[in-house]
Structure 1
Amino acid sequence: MNRTVIAGFLLTLASAFFFAVSGPIAKTMYAIGWTPGAVVLIRLAGSAVLLLIPTLIALRGRWGEVLTHWRTVVTYGLVSMAGVQGFYFVAVEHLTVAVALLLEMTAPMLIVFWIWARTRTRPATVTFIGVVVSMFGLLLVLNLRGSSISIFGVVMAMAAAVCLASYFLVSAKDTITIPPVALTGLGMGIGALAMSVIVLAGVMPWNAVTADVDFGGVSMSWVVPMAMIVVFTVGAYITGILGLRYVGATVGSFVNLVEVPFSVIVAWLVLFEMPAPIQLFGGVFILGGVGFIKWGESRLARRVARREVVATSEPSLITT
């Protein structure tokens, strides 16, 4: 394994940790009266301001690349920034952090079906096994017999999964030459503008309270967790883009699954919140299923590579 791949894994792990911390911290804000609209808007706007100068420096003399890839930049801001964060933080309001995140982590399955539909290349049998195992885990996570789970929260978490799949696919494109910090900064700015419209339209209500927050049993000013959310968001996206460009969307989405145990631990420490045992058991199936999906993708890649070798060698055999 070369240094580039190792660096990609480490960066993706760092991104997973930063993302995992944000959900539990945001939920502490909900406890004092904040709404998801307020949290997401300040998160996006604060990140955009924090990245403004680095973005301008990174884009010096390279604005032509932004114009060339403007559709990707806009999509990234609307879907990967505003979409992922908006849907996920609404889901966290109605579900436990672990359940919301496990539902969002079905994104790798969506990537498999998207690539299948686009390339017309049938996934490996192992991939289908992984999808079935993950779907079984999904049913356990939903804990249908408990019937206390919020259907609205589930819909929001699955919408976040769709947006997350887009994030993996866009971030992994090595044809995009825009520097990662600039792509993140532009995306945050576009996402903040989109969220401003959503909040002003009343789609996501705004309410912010300047009161102390109970953070893992410690009382502190609301400014501290809000600042942590902004800083961790910037770190998550920058390390995520860098890592995905090194390891690719499929591998990156697989490594990103460590966000689940990270989030469970942080939610336990900060919120004293734990999912039901059957939901944790279902989470194991989801993660195991995605492991099978990754295995199947690797087998498919080798199969396609062998076909390409055969196809390129046939003409030479004919001419000789």
Structure 2
Amino acid sequence: MKQQVALGLALTLLSSFLFAASGPVAKAMYAVGWTPGAVVLLRLLGCAIVLAVPTVVAMRGRWGAVRAHWRIVVVYGVVAIVGVQLLYFLAVEHLTVAVALLLEMTAPLMIVFWVWMRTGSRPAPATFAGMVTAMLGLVLILDPRGAELHLGAVLLALGAAVCLCAYFLIGAKADIDIPPVALTGLGMGVGAGVMLALWPTGILEYSFTSVPVDLGGAEVPWWVAVGLLAAATAGAYLTGVMGLRMIGATVSSFVNLTEVPFSVLVAWLVLSELPGYVQLVGGVFIIAGVVFIKLGESRAPVREVVVDEVTAAEDASSGAGPRAAGDAASPELRAVDG
């Protein structure tokens, strides 16, 4: 069990780093004329192509699971993939990156309170201490003082946080017989389809350019930047889902806060944006917060709500017996062992 937890933490940290690595690459592409719509489209399309063969191989003999859980796959693609990325990039149009990221990173707090309300299981004191410590670290790193807030953009950033909650909660569902690589590949395919469907509507601007992209002082062709972006995104979601199934949504969501100091490091290497002393102190606070959360989970396992809406819908439509109906009415509770 300890080896599984250690591996889950390592995979989640790798996922956070890959998510952080994709941010500066996207920012470098914006600098030469790309728009968020175009970047998100090629990002998801590239991921879907990269993961197509591994998805087919992993789902050999398991396609019945996709038919049974197709709603979850669609929600994962639309909400956990498109929603997180698109809402965040739209919020950045009217907010500073720091404020938008800080609002999005309230997702772990939302998960803890959501689990608390749904299960009635009060988080351990160490969990509360970790929440406060981690969020203080985020404030120190992002330093949003003096920023002008745009109400609509704030709501968009909070919407990205809600979508991020869906990413953690869906990814942590171990009762779905869909391997992580397949869930990621199918979700990317759904997400790419959504972005393609939005293109002709004019809701989003899709601007592409073939101008070389400057990455850390080295100019690379646009297709290299897109390839790096797609590879980092695919790896981030894949390792993220694998880690989620090992350590659960609550712990994983707080470990994911390390994306912020990782972003500072990668931005320093790629964009020459040097971190300050306060940012380094904030990174230490985040790591300390993750440790407190882990201690809290170990001493008092958090009860997570696992709702299989697909099974409930099938039971209702097939006229299942009283026992099945009762199971559908009462959410199944799964204890996450820290």
What is the TM-score when the length of structure 2 is the normalising length?
0.78
1:60-116 deviations in whole A, cap 9, x for unaligned? 221111111112111111111111121233455666666644443322111101101
More relative contact order in 1 or in 2 (CA 8 Å, sep 6+)? 1
- Name the amino acid aligned to 2:23: G
How far is 1:294 from its partner? 4.1
Between stretches 230-239 and 2-11, larger displacement belongs to: 2-11
Assess, with a 3 A threshold, how the Cα gap between structure 1 residues 144 and 248 changes in structure 2: closer, same or farther. closer
Residue aligning to 1:253? 253
How far is 1:135 from its partner? 5.2
Map of 1:135-284 to 2, 5 A cutoff? 143=143, 145-147=145-147, 154-274=154-274
How far is 1:184 from its partner? 0.8
Assess, with a 3 A threshold, how the Cα gap between structure 1 residues 263 and 132 changes in structure 2: closer, same or farther. closer
Residue aligning to 2:296? 296
Q: Secondary structure at the match of 1:77?
A: helix
How far is 1:24 from its partner? 0.6
Residue aligning to 1:17? 17
Given that residues 123 and 302 in structure 2 are in contact (C-alpha distance below 8 angstroms), is that contact kept between their aligned partners in structure 1? no
What 5-or-longer segments of structure 2 have no aligned partner?
A: 305-338
Map of 1:82-101 to 2, 5 A cutoff? 82-91=82-91, 100-101=100-101
What 5-or-longer segments of structure 1 have no aligned partner?
A: 305-320
How far is 1:170 from its partner? 1.0
Q: Measure, in 1, the Cα distance between the counterparts of 2:125 and 2:3.
A: 31
Q: Measure, in 2, the Cα distance between the counterparts of 1:280 and 1:155.
A: 29
Assess, with a 3 A threshold, how the Cα gap between structure 1 residues 92 and 21 changes in structure 2: closer, same or farther. farther
Between stretches 282-291 and 117-126, larger displacement belongs to: 282-291
How far is 1:206 from its partner? 0.8
Q: Measure, in 1, the Cα distance between the counterparts of 2:94 and 2:204.
A: 14
Identity %: 58
Q: Measure, in 1, the Cα distance between the counterparts of 2:150 and 2:31.
A: 18
Residue aligning to 2:59? 59
Assess, with a 3 A threshold, how the Cα gap between structure 1 residues 67 and 153 changes in structure 2: closer, same or farther. same
Given that residues 121 and 302 in structure 2 are in contact (C-alpha distance below 8 angstroms), is that contact kept between their aligned partners in structure 1? no
Between stretches 32-41 and 81-90, larger displacement belongs to: 81-90
Q: Secondary structure at the match of 1:33?
A: coil
Q: What count of residue pairs does the alignment treat as equivalent?
A: 304
1:128-176 deviations in whole A, cap 9, x for unaligned? 4444455555665664542357766654443322212211111111101
CA RMSD of aligned residues (A): 3.0
What is the TM-score when the length of structure 1 is the normalising length?
0.82
Given that residues 138 and 260 in structure 2 are in contact (C-alpha distance below 8 angstroms), is that contact kept between their aligned partners in structure 1? no
Assess, with a 3 A threshold, how the Cα gap between structure 1 residues 149 and 137 changes in structure 2: closer, same or farther. farther
